[in-house]
Chain A
Amino acid sequence: MEEKKKISDEVVLDVKDVNISFKTTVGSLNAIRGVNFTLHRGETVAIVGESGSGKSVTVKAVMGIKSANERVNAGEILYTYEENGQKKTVDLLKFSKREMVEKFNGKHIAMVFQDPMTALNPLLTIGAQLTEGMRKHLKLSKEEAWKKGEELLREVGIPNPALTMKSYPHQLSGGMRQRVVIAIAISCNPDVLICDEPTTALDVTIQAKILELIQEMQRKRNISVIYITHDLGVVAKVADFVAVMYAGKIVEKGTAYEIYFKPRHPYTWGLLLAMPDLNTTDERLYAIPGTPPNLLKKIVGDAFAPRNAYALNIDFEEEPPVYRLSETHEVSSWLEHPDAPRVEMPEALVRRIERMEKEVS
């Protein structure tokens, strides 16, 4: 099976070797230990990981949202955009919070947050919040912005835009609020949209609709999207490219097809198997034993080794290098070393993939 979508060659965001630590009362916590990925125009990249993997910290760095005790140890985030007809490339990590807010946030890079309840200001009308960005970045007048706001609300599927503009957040349901948040995010025509678990707080029946809405907006406006999620069902629906993060590093990345049909890293296998789908008949769910490591301690070797049933001795000594399996598929695992034993993915996963391939044809 081939992927249907052709990804543009134009690189919008290039995250290179980013390393970030947090200074806490008990020591330095190395949350991001070397992350690399690229985002092309019109592409959807999903960063998958569990709590503590560092996925939220990574995208917050792209937005310039930094805590007071956060230190960027190394790396760059190169963002390519157009200003006054000229193409510019800048390193986002070099800007201060203020500069990011002035130049990029909302205007070029926008974010949809997880909790629609707290993402909106309860004291302002929807209209006020929707027009704020447009008046600032696009220099529209109050009336123009208001009109455009109504159009945006219609576009995101809100039934009564004029009335909604005058309403307050608490008068809307969760799904409606998230649509408003999306409208605000796209209001200034950003190049990049970052969605941090946008559907986790919503009911299952609304989730699909919100994801479809984001896809539609993306297609119409040629926006590049980064999704942060731990839900592999969401990833399957929206992602072109998937990066799996564990303990501050990307352990495997590739196209969605490669990750779901040809996964190579044991952690990826664990994640795929931990999700029971409607056809699981096994007696026990495969569960990765233990919990993610404490990033306050320096990690020697592969961070996943202690929980890895397929760990090699070298996993405890040296960090695995990145192996290229195809033009798009990369794995960071010693199992790909020529001297390493041949390992097959677990039975249950093989069966599931066979089942999926049958469904596809």
Chain B
Amino acid sequence: MSTFVEKEILLEVEGLKQYFPIDNKNTVKAVDDVSFMVRKGTTFGLVGESGSGKSTIGRSIIRLYNPTDGTIKLNGREISGRMTAEKKHFLTTNMQMIFQDPMASLNPRKKVIDIVAEGLDANHLYKSKKEREEKVYAMLEKVGLNHEQANRYPHMFSGGQRQRIGIARAIIMEPELIIADECISALDVSIQAQVINIMKELQEEQGLTYLFIAHDLAMVKYISDYIGVIHLGHFVEMGTKEDIFNHAVHPYTKSLLSAIPEPNPVTEPSRRAVSYDKKAEGVDYTKGKKHYLSETHMVLATDEELAKWTGAAMH
């Protein structure tokens, strides 16, 4: 079993910037110079709150947006820059996405079989109607749905079942990387557990790699091997589970960790979360440098900030 750092790199993102011009003067810098790697067969947990830019990163990588700047490489091949038909085909067959809203991510006017087979249709990945049907049925069984339901419409399914259809739609393309964009946030707690279990099973079976975008740190800890914490378009801290949950350095990471509620009715009512005020602390992400505290643990900070925070961590 190779250790984490020995695993092959599947996705490499370098200097990704995604700016959205609002009018002639103002630009929203949703993602501002972000670099990270995702290793094959692992799950990278991308954590942030609303407005952090996490969903934008996912969409830029899969080219739903055109990145303002930066390079993205999948399996060594560049997928950023000008889009060509060849690149598009490579992208479509190697990377897929699972979306957040179970209501909106499926076309209400299409049957489930057509929804799941859409990728196959678009890329001509089957020779006969029978083959298409068989592939879809196999996928539905894999995600725990009865293939008899393939001829129904989405509104006849519950939220959890719809997300599973979304997963089937993505994995039928046999991608190497799946970007899960908050795909369990809209589900009930016990259904989240179901979907997460399926995702974990598929990962073990097929060696899938996930980029798991979420805001729920507890769930992220459960499923991820490596975690990146993002705030206002910058990675403030990255590391393995161990690094982040036991040795967090950046005050934003600490505030996120302390905000996680604990299901203990005796201690929780009086527990107070640690808060982080970027302005008050005088932190400017554009001035920070990437410091590597270990082979895996990165913190974005100026030298003074780093000294202050690691000094504080040691006391």
A143 within 8 A of B: no
User: Which B residue sits closest to A256, measured CB to CB?
Assistant: B265
Also in contact, A277 and B262, with CB within 8 A (given A205-B49, A205-B276, A285-B222)? yes
* Of the residues B49, B197, B259, B265, contact of A284 by C-beta under 8 Å: B197
Which size bracket describes the interface of A in this complex?
35 or more
Are A277 and B263 neighbours in the complex by a CB distance under 8 Å?
yes
- How many A-B pairs have beta carbons closer than 8 Å: the answer is 129
Are A260 and B265 neighbours in the complex by a CB distance under 8 Å?
yes
B37 within 8 A of A: no
Interface-side segment among A11-19, A226-234, A337-345: A226-234
Contact residues of A: prevailing secondary structure: helix
| 21 pairs from A and B in contact (CB 8 Å cutoff) | A51-B158, A51-B159, A51-B188, A205-B49, A205-B255, A205-B275, A208-B261, A209-B273, A232-B263, A233-B262, A235-B263, A236-B263, A236-B269, A271-B189, A271-B190, A272-B263, A274-B189, A275-B189, A284-B200, A287-B197, A291-B160
Are A231 and B261 neighbours in the complex by a CB distance under 8 Å?
yes
Interface-side segment among B18-26, B82-90, B213-221: B213-221
Are B49 and A233 neighbours in the complex by a CB distance under 8 Å?
no
A21 CA to B152 CA, complexed, in Å: 27
Are A205 and B259 neighbours in the complex by a CB distance under 8 Å?
yes
Taking CB atoms and an 8 Å cut-off, the chain A residues in 250-269 that contact chain B are 256-257, 259-260
A304: min CB distance to chain B, Å: 12
Q: Which residues of B contact A272 (CB under 8 A)?
A: 263
B161 within 8 A of A: yes
User: Which B residue sits closest to A51, measured CB to CB?
Assistant: B188
Contact residues of B: prevailing secondary structure: helix
Q: Which residues of B contact A292 (CB under 8 A)?
A: 158
A112: min CB distance to chain B, Å: 18
Given contacts A204-B256, A259-B265, A285-B196, 16 further A-B contacts (CB under 8 A): A231-B261, A233-B262, A236-B262, A236-B264, A237-B261, A237-B271, A274-B192, A274-B193, A276-B221, A276-B222, A278-B221, A280-B218, A280-B222, A285-B197, A286-B193, A288-B193
Residue interface mask B230-265, A partner, CB < 8 A = 1 = 000000000000000100000000011001111111
Taking CB atoms and an 8 Å cut-off, the chain A residues in 290-325 that contact chain B are 291-292
* Of the residues B49, B160, B219, contact of A203 by C-beta under 8 Å: B49
Are B221 and A291 neighbours in the complex by a CB distance under 8 Å?
no
